[in-house]
């Protein structure tokens, strides 16, 4: 298995330490896997589409933005 190092803000790290029962590496691993699966679906759709790469990227950006906004509203 490959290791990945990432930087997070100190305040987030402090908040994470308050929940030491959580396997944070597993949370990150699942999140990355979900994102990759979504990208693969989008690639399959784009491959069958007559859209340009630019149009596909614009749609993907809008989807990501909308999902981010929806998740923030749910807080």
Task: Give domain limits for the chain.
Answer: 38-75
Other Cβ atoms less than 10 A from the Cβ of 61: the count is: 10
Ranges of residues in the chain with a pLDDT under 50 are: none
pLDDT value of residue 71: 84
Encoded tokens for 65 = 């933005």
pLDDT value of residue 50: 85
pLDDT value of residue 45: 82
Residue 58 to residue 1: CA distance in whole angstroms: 33
Q: Is the pTM of this model over 0.85?
A: no
pLDDT value of residue 47: 82
pLDDT value of residue 32: 96
């Amino acid at each position: 298995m490959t290791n990945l190092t990432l930087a997070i803000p100190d305040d987030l790290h402090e908040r994470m330490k308050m929940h030491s029962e959580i396997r944070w590496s597993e949370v990150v691993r699942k999140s990355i896997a979900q994102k990759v699966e979504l990208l693969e679906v989008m690639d399959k759709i784009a491959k069958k589409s007559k859209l340009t790469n630019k149009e596909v990227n614009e749609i993907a950006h809008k989807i990501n933005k909308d999902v981010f906004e929806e998740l923030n509203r749910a807080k």
